[in-house]
Each structure stands twice: as structure tokens, then as C-alpha cells.
Structure 1
Amino acid sequence: MNCAEVRIRFAGGPPTDAGGPLVPFGATTVTRCETPLASTAPAVTGLTPPKVLTTDVDRLAAILNALPAVPADQACLPITLPVQVSLVFTFREQQPLAVVVDPTCSALIAGDRARSYTAMNPLPVFDALFSAQPGVTPSARR
């Protein structure tokens, strides 16, 4: 799965969580994607190129899995953003998993699983792990 193949999540109420881990153990890479939303695609400029995390992938997955389920009363803002951010986890022997970062609900959504990130935004965590990787140039860190 590349960034262009990530499905767009359309806004609604707070997502429900079926339980279990958000991200299965054993991911080999995580790619941070920005996907323009269809209604704004022509107007979107300056998308951040995909960033691929190849170290500490299980550490990031454990941090996301430790987040609480989205409570039923968690507020979702009725706004439309120009891009959707996702974290795409790849595995050796299973299909990639796209975790959509929904800032309107402060939720991470992967299929029928959802976690609240009201207490901790996962994107700065990803960025810190990405920047700490060996071989990442200063210009790629932005």
C-alpha cells in the first residue's frame, strides 16, 4: 500500500472500538502519509512527502496500542481539513494497515478499532523517532 491507496475516512461521530490491539505486533515499517481530500485536492499544495520509519516500529505500535478507546462522549468537530494524515504499517506476512489520524475527533482509526489521542498526539512521537533514525538528513526531518 502506498500513500495514494489509503482510503479516505469521511467524518461522522466518534468511532467505536472493537477492542484488541490497534496495530498488530511485527510491523517492519511505518510510513507517514498525507492524502489530499477529494473536495480540496486541486487546492492542496505543499504536502509533506511520505516519511518512512524503519527503526523503533514496534515501539511506536506499542505507544499507539496503549492509548485508550475513544469514549462515546468524545467531541468531534464539524470541520473539513484539506488533507488526511495516516500512518501505514507494513508487515512481512500480512497486508499493510492504514491508521487514519482523525484530528476532528482526536482519534486513531484502523478498521474497526479506534483509540483516543486527547492525552498524547502520536505525530510528534513519529516525527521524533523518524528524526532519530540513522541516515536521516536534516532536510528530511522537516
Structure 2
Amino acid sequence: MTSADCLRPAGRRPSGPLAVHCSAGRDRTGVLVALALSVAGVPPASIAADYARTDGCSGDTMLRMLSHLDDRHGGARTYLPAGGATGAQLERARNRLLSQRFFTPISNGTVMPVKRQIRTPRVGTIRGV
């Protein structure tokens, strides 16, 4: 399964939260979420700060990954179509993320995360998934 395959449900499902998980570890989910946030226009520093909130994860590692993605592939919006995502799918995923009011649009088509307190349920108690 490619990263593009993983992002498709974000544009197909009705509004509401999506759960992203991987049985092999946090790095794969972190990269997938970083790609989605990048498509939505979230600045790399904000993506890295979000990634660093996970125990044992470094924001510097995420910044290096995003820099590599930009240098080698031109960013997530060109990397994901190379893996099979269409422009329409990326736009639907972006619109979904923006419609959830997690981000506030600012200039130049970028967005900033909305500060909010999120209660994280214990593993095994996630409801509605």
C-alpha cells in the first residue's frame, strides 16, 4: 500500500475524525500524517512540532524528512501523485482537514493549527472507529 492509497479515505469518508494507525510503529503513521498536513498547507515547523509530541520522536527528524521530500520530489503535492493520488483526491483530503476546524487559513494558501485541548483515550478505548 502506498502513501497515496492511505490518504484516499480522507477524501472519501463523511466528515469527522479519522484514525491512522500502523502495527509496525509510530514512524509510518507520523510520515503519513505529515504528508496529509503538508497537503493541507501546514508549515513544516508546525508539522515537526506535532510529531515531536509523541514520546521518543524528534521534530528535527521530521524536518529533515520534509526537507528531503521537498528537495528530491518537490513536496507532498508532487510526491503523492507520483504514487497514484490524483489532484482531486488531494484537494478533497485538504478540504476535509480544513473543514474540521483544526486549521486556520492564513496568507499564501498556508494554514496554522488551531490551538485546542485534545483528550486522548487510552489504547483500546477509542470509540466510533
* Fold agreement, TM-score > 0.5: no
Scaled by the length of structure 2, the TM-score of the pair is 0.29
Scaled by the length of structure 1, the TM-score of the pair is 0.27
